[in-house]
Amino acid sequence: MNNFEFKNPTKIIFGKDTIEKLESEIPSDAKVLLLYGGGSIKKNGIYEQVTKALSKVDVTEFGGIPANPEYAVLMEALQVIKDKGINYLLAVGGGSVIDGTKFLSAAAVYDGDTPWDILTKNVKTQKGMPFGTVLTLPATGSEMNSGAVITRAETKEKLAMGGPGLFPEFSILDPQVISSIPERQLVNGITDAFTHVLEQYMTYPIGASLQDRFAESILQTLIEVAPKVIKDPTDYKPAADFMWSCTMALNGLIQKGVPGDWAVHMMGHELTALFGIDHARTLAVIAPSHYKYNIEAKKEKLAQYGERVWNITEGSIDDKAYAAIEKTEAFFQGLGIDTKLSDYTEDYEGTAEEISKRFTARGWKGLGENQDLSPDKVEKIVKMAY
Amino acid sequence: MNNFEFKNPTKIIFGKDTIEKLESEIPSDAKVLLLYGGGSIKKNGIYEQVTKALSKVDVTEFGGIPANPEYAVLMEALQVIKDKGINYLLAVGGGSVIDGTKFLSAAAVYDGDTPWDILTKNVKTQKGMPFGTVLTLPATGSEMNSGAVITRAETKEKLAMGGPGLFPEFSILDPQVISSIPERQLVNGITDAFTHVLEQYMTYPIGASLQDRFAESILQTLIEVAPKVIKDPTDYKPAADFMWSCTMALNGLIQKGVPGDWAVHMMGHELTALFGIDHARTLAVIAPSHYKYNIEAKKEKLAQYGERVWNITEGSIDDKAYAAIEKTEAFFQGLGIDTKLSDYTEDYEGTAEEISKRFTARGWKGLGENQDLSPDKVEKIVKMAY
């Protein structure tokens, strides 16, 4: 096991009818900016629950944060924060709204030249503007971690940021919100959380037995609840298991003491930036090719995953590893998620070269847990995913 | 899944040679009381590492905190805190030293009549004196939770306390400390952590799939590493898995959203108070009888545990449940832990009645996850454990 430090101060408030607890979590004298996305919260009753709980607080609203939170939109919100003297942020939404709120938490206190620096100069925010979240879409785990990914349409870029000061002060997780989530977003959420676990697990054996088993536990639970959640998102029990699994998939716990890969995300982000493909679907496109290409480096863990999660008992390590990749791809497809780039766009020729070129331009010499995935290898993996 | 709230702000610093990081965790202007136990830290090099890291800080020492931290000794330490103007506590030890330090953290700021109230009047400390820990003995999980158990020899009592203000600010976990732990304490630690998981898991099915699997993950890991740690405590890999498993067994995570039992501990505490039996061994004495007596209420979870943790595939639910209890008792015995009260004392007659009488006197009408274990049932369980 590698040495690690772990601290996660976010307060989770989980369960039925918990949105009303907002009232006791936000200081009564706060000037709150309520951030949300496309307005679904105004159709499913969540907006009413939130505003009722905040009836005694000074609240300004900022809606319209898009999926893949857009820098230009967030700069408008930053202006509102300054104009209105906002001192507390409340994200009501999924990963995009929460990620956008994290950027604003950092940008509101940043004293450099331009908030763009936060994304390009690896600024680690030590203390941002305080914020909480009401999660409306389980997927990214952003509700209990300190990272975010921001998109800039102007330059077709998608960049990561974070810092120890960007954990939500609290996050309210009411699994009842799942009942009104469209199936497309549900399956995206399952795929996203599943891939988050894979990125932290599918590397090489480092002998961290408990972290391995925790990772496998999340994968097993997602596999178990996925069909139930899709069949009936109003069924509370699988909804609750699904929601908690997504949070645990990326709250830092399973990545402590172990190597991380994250190359699937790095490549996937480019597919979203280039084609606007849903984040989760880009992961399902890249992951199978990535694991096949890196079979030598990853086969021990792939085989362990095959044995423990998919009950693959027959064959050699290599056989089990390949079978596990097939099971994974079939799992995504069973959710209705296409796993080839050509399923999403006819304009895929040249994509691998373009992504390779971008990585070279950014000076990204070696991705993955062994830092050996050079841009030419990335090109091959993306081509395998056509 | 039940509704829950989860917040655990303790910073974990885990790994090789991490004790030196003390220097950056304790404010340089703090007046520190360094608390430890019987002095083993002066023989195994830990004391030197700690004092070297604190060479620039004002440190007063208080050694001699016994296993089952004794109220009278802690009152002496409280006097030192007052006399010396101490404002930061550092526990260097196992669960007893850390628990004692938590009591002091609470007592140092308590403004009631007597610190004894903290134990008898269910005082929930919202903000104690800040403290950190250097863990020298994996077992209790006290390094990452906000609870403690204090003993008072005068009245032969062992009482629990806690509060949201009693999480350590940081805990340093260097698995290398395990190399100098005597086997007796190692097997106690394994047994203690194992039973902590059982208390949070062996109840009735509530459909919290992820919590179940996380609990099973800890049990599986403890079973896997136990023989390795005992065989060679200098082997870093199993030592690290063991240490992290003990912490995760009782840091709040696996108990969220699920019912808890804790009757094994309640009965076990009395055996320590009455006979001075090691805490972990009292759990191994009580647990098998407790599960047999409550087989009807617990058989679904016992069978699930049997299937997933012990690979018991044959028989009915009842068969699997009983087989799982047998496996558990055999596991403890395999560690060299006796599982009958008569193995520890010849003077066991009347113990069941005495414990039952004590519970009645305290008004404890119903223990366990169903709050239906009345003192007369407790009497039967303890008798089964003779």
Is the CB of B245 less than 8 angstroms away from the CB of A210? Answer: yes
Q: Is the pLDDT of residue A157 over 90?
A: no
Q: Are residues A163 and A195 in the same domain?
A: no
Same domain assignment for residues B47 and B138: yes
pLDDT of residue A68: 85
A237 to chain B, any CB pair closer than 8 A? The answer is yes
Q: Please, which pLDDT band fits residue B158 given cuts at 50, 70 and 90?
A: confident
Q: Which of A234, A265, A235, A237 has its CA nearest to residue A249?
A: A265
- Give which of A32, A14, A281 is closest to A143, Cα–Cα: A14
Q: What is the ipTM of this complex?
A: 0.96
In the predicted model, is pLDDT for residue B156 greater than 80? no
pLDDT tens track for A30-41:
999 999 998 899
B361 and B224 inside one domain:
yes
Between CA B196 and CA B190 the distance in angstroms is: 10
Residue A54 and residue A119 in one domain: yes
pLDDT at A158: 81
Task: For chain A, count helices (H), then strands (E).
Answer: 14, 8
pLDDT at B56: 93
Token pair in block for residue A15: 């369960």
**Spatial separation of the C-alpha atoms in residues A59 and B156, rounded to whole Å:** 56
- The string of pLDDT tens digits covering residues B118-144 is 999 989 999 999 999 999 999 999 999
Contact call for A2 and B11, based on CB within 8 A: no
**Pairs across A and B, CB distance < 8 A:** 112
Q: Is A11 on the interface with B (CB under 8 A)?
A: yes
| Average pLDDT score over chain B | 96
Give residue A149's pLDDT: 92
Instruction: Report pLDDT for B175.
Output: 98
Residue B5 located in a structural domain: no
- Looking at the fold, whether B267 and B146 belong to one and the same domain comes out as no
Q: Which of A329-338, B152-161, B334-343 has the lowest mean pLDDT?
A: B152-161
Question: How far, in Å, CA of A169 to CA of A30, rounded?
Answer: 14
Interface test with B, best of A210, A212, A223, A224 (most B CBs within 10 A): A210
Task: For residues B213 and B343, state if they share a domain.
Answer: yes
* Mean pLDDT in residue range A245-273: 96
For position B114, what pLDDT does the model report? 94
Evaluate whether A286 touches A268 at the Cβ level (below 8 Å). Answer: yes
Outline where A54-201 has alpha helix (H). Answer: 71-84, 95-107, 116-120, 183-201
Q: Please tell me if residue B66 touches chain A, with a CB cutoff of 8 Å.
A: no
User: Which of A10, A210, A224 has its CB closest to that of B221?
Assistant: A210
Whether the pLDDT of residue A99 is over 80: the answer is: yes
Mean pLDDT confidence for B244-261: 97
Residues 199-218 of B with CB under 8 A from A: 207-211, 213-214, 216-218
Residue A237: helix, strand or coil by DSSP?
helix
Contact across the interface for B241 and A6, Cβ inside 8 Å: no
CATH number at residue A340: 1.20.1090.10
Query: Is residue B370 assigned to a domain?
Result: yes
Question: Where would I find the H helices in B8-70?
Answer: 22-25, 46-53
Q: Is A1 a domain residue?
A: no
**Residue A60 carries which side chain, given as an amino acid letter?**
T
Residues 6+ apart with CB under 8 A from B152: B70, B71, B72, B119, B158, B159
Per DSSP, what are the bridge partners of residue B60?
B33
Q: Residues 6 or more apart from A121 whose CB is under 8 A from it?
A: A112
Number of domains chain B is built from = 2
Judge if A313 and A193 occupy the same domain: yes
How many alpha carbons lie under 13 Å from residue B196 in its C-beta half-sphere? 28
Residue range A102-131: mean pLDDT, rounded: 95
Choose one of B148, B176, B204: the last residue of a domain.
Answer: B176
- Is B4 part of any domain? no
For chain A, the straight-line distance linking the first and the last C-alpha, in angstroms and rounded, comes to: 36
**Is the minimum CB–CB distance between A116 and chain B shorter than 8 Å?**
no
Q: How confident is the model at residue B347 (pLDDT cuts 50, 70, 90)?
A: very high
Residues A151 and A207 in one domain: no
Average pLDDT across chain A, whole number: 96
Considering only the beta carbons, identify the residue of A5, A10, A209 that sits closest to B221. A209
- The CATH number of the domain where B110 resides is what? 3.40.50.1970
- Residues B40 and B54: their CA atoms lie apart, in Å, by 19
| Domain final residue, candidates A134, A153, A176 | A176
Q: Both A114 and A212 in a single domain?
A: no
B291 lies in which domain range? 183-384
Residue B267, token pair as written in the block: 């009965």
- Residue A241 reports pLDDT greater than 80: yes
Domain membership flag for residue B6: no
Q: Which of B235, B171, B140, B179 is nearest to B45 (CA)?
A: B179
Secondary structure of A38-57 in the HEC alphabet? Answer: CCHHHCCCHHHHHHHHCCCC
Question: Tell me: the pLDDT tens digits for B285-331?
Answer: 999 999 999 999 999 999 999 999 999 999 999 999 999 999 999 99
Contact of A168 with A135, CB cutoff 8 Å: no
Both B57 and B159 in one domain: the answer is: yes
- Considering the domain boundaries, does residue A283 fall inside one? yes
Angle at A109 between CA A103 and CA A112, to 5 degrees: 90
* Residue where a domain terminates, one of B154, B176, B198: B176
Q: How many angstroms separate the CA of residue A140 from the nearest CA in chain B?
A: 17
Backbone angles phi and psi of B152, in degrees to 5: -125, 110
Q: Please list every residue in chain A whose beta carbon sits closer than 8 Å to the beta carbon of residue B10.
A: 7
**Burial bucket for residue A212 (CB in 10 Å: 0-12, 13-18, 19+):** buried
Residue B2 is assigned to a structural domain of this protein: no
Other Cβ atoms closer than 10 A to B326: 15
Same domain, B154 and B261: no
Helix axes B236-249, B183-201, angle to 10 degrees: 40
The pLDDT of residue B154: 87
Q: Look at residue B68 in the predicted model and tell me its pLDDT.
A: 84
Report the C-alpha gap between B111 and A348 in whole angstroms: 71
As given in the structure block, the two tokens for residue A354 are 């373009």
Over residues B176-187, the mean pLDDT reads 96
For chain B, what percent of residues have pLDDT higher than 70? 100
Structure tokens at A305: 């995953």
| Residue B60, in any domain of the structure | yes
B118 and B192 share a domain? Answer: no
Q: Which residues, at least 6 apart from A165, have a Cβ–Cβ distance to it below 8 Å?
A: A105, A106, A125, A126, A127, A128, A146
